[in-house]
């Protein structure tokens, strides 16, 4: 579950979940070599199951290396390895998520603001113009782009659960996303982590379908 959620967090722009005290203690009690091998295999599997829907903009091998390193740093050094924002890992349906968040924040602070100060940076990173002349107009445009990316619910589901018929997340939670008690089973599984409520949004039944 930790590997799946860590990969999903990177693909959607959320913060990688950290183990809670009980889970962290259990991991710390394991021998480091088999534990690290288990983490690596689980992350590789999580990334591989999503390759069909992320490979157009995300390097699967590079993502796996990064996520494993971040998980090991969290366990062995109690250190946060990731940058505050890592747009290079965003899956295609979420590629505008971080830009959208920044534009929303700027617009809330100043509804009459001009172009966002990071406009040139974003245009270079995405090789796409973010037309103005105001933050509000940029927000409207990027919101539309994000909504277009979210329309393909099959792709959104594949980012969330992977492309295999029996997903690792469902196996770890002990239920299928189509089950009546899915949300409760998922919420129970998430208690092993510190503040991972965002996963309920991405893994809700309305997104996954039957």
The 10s digit of each residue's pLDDT in 52-86 is 999 999 999 999 999 999 999 988 877 778 888 89
Dihedral sign of CA atoms 37, 33, 74, 182 in order = positive
- What is the value of pTM for the model shown? 0.91
* Contact partners, residue 110, CB within 8 Å, separation at least 6: 135
The fraction of the chain above a pLDDT of 90, given in percent, is 82
Predicted confidence at residue 1, as pLDDT, reads 96
Report the mean per-residue pLDDT for the chain: 92
Beta strand extents in the chain (DSSP E only): 18-19, 193-194
Residue for token digits 């860590």? Answer: 6
Mean pLDDT over residues 163-170, rounded? 91
């Amino acid at each position: 579950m930790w590997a799946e959620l860590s990969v999903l967090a990177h693909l959607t722009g959320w913060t990688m979940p950290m183990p809670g005290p009980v889970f962290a203690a259990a991991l710390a009690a394991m021998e480091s070599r088999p534990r690290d091998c288990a983490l690596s295999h689980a992350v590789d599997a999580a990334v591989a199951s999503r390759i069909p829907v992320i490979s157009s903009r995300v390097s699967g091998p590079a993502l796996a290396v990064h996520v494993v390193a971040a998980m090991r740093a969290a366990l062995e050094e109690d250190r946060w390895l990731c940058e505050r924002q890592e747009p290079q890992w965003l899956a295609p349906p979420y590629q505008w998520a971080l830009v959208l968040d920044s534009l929303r924040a700027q617009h809330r602070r100043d509804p009459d603001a001009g172009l966002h100060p990071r406009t040139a940076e974003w245009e270079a990173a995405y090789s796409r113009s973010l037309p103005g002349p105001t933050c509000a107009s940029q927000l409207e445009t990027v919101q539309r782009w994000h909504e277009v990316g979210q329309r393909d619910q099959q792709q959104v589901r594949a980012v969330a659960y992977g492309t295999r018929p029996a997903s690792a997340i469902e196996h770890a939670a002990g239920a299928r996303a189509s089950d009546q008690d899915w949300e409760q089973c998922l919420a129970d599984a998430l208690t092993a982590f510190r503040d991972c409520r965002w996963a309920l949004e991405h893994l809700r039944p309305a997104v996954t379908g039957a």
